[in-house]
Amino acid sequence: MREIILDIEKWVTQGKRVAIARVISLEGSGPRDAGAAMAVNEDGVVSGSVSGGCVEGAVVTEALEIIESGEGKNVTLESSCAKLFCSEILGKIADRAVQIHGGAGYMSEYAVERLYRDARLFRIYEGTSQIQQLIIARETIKNFKN
C-alpha cells in the first residue's frame, strides 16, 4: 500500500490525474483482501493490483475512461460483468483446447493441461461465477430502483 501512496504522490506532484480502485468486502471474493488497492495515472501506468487476473485490464481501461471524463463512478456492476465473462469464456476455450488434444490434453507433458487447470481457477477465485452473478443481480436491481 505504501508503494501505491508514493506513486500517487509522485503522479500528483507531476500534475497527472489519477484513478484509484479498491477491493470491497465480499464473501468469497478471492485472493485480494478487502482494502487492496490499485492506482492508474492518465498515461496508463499502474501501481498495485486489485485482481491479479483477467479483470485487471478491464479495471485499467475503465479507470482511464473515468480519468478522461473527469467524474467518479462506481464500477461494481461493470467489473463483475467483466470478471464473469472473462472467466467463463476462458473456461470454454481451455475445454475446447483439451478436446482438440484428446486424451493427451490431460497429460502434464502438454501445456494445454496446465491451461485447463489454471482456467478452472479463474472461475473460483476473485469471487466464484455464482458470486459474480449475485453481485450483477444486486447492482442491476439497485440501478433499476434509482
Residue 38 in contact with residue 62, Cβ under 8 Å?
A: no
126 is catalytic: yes
User: Could you tell me if 65 and 136 are in contact, meaning their C-beta atoms sit under 8 angstroms apart?
Assistant: no
Of residues 62, 113, 126, 139, which has the active-site annotation?
A: 126
As to burial, measured by CB atoms within 10 angstroms (0-12 exposed, 13-18 middle, 19+ buried), residue 100 is exposed
What is residue 125's DSSP assignment?
A: T
Q: Annotated active-site positions, please? A: 126
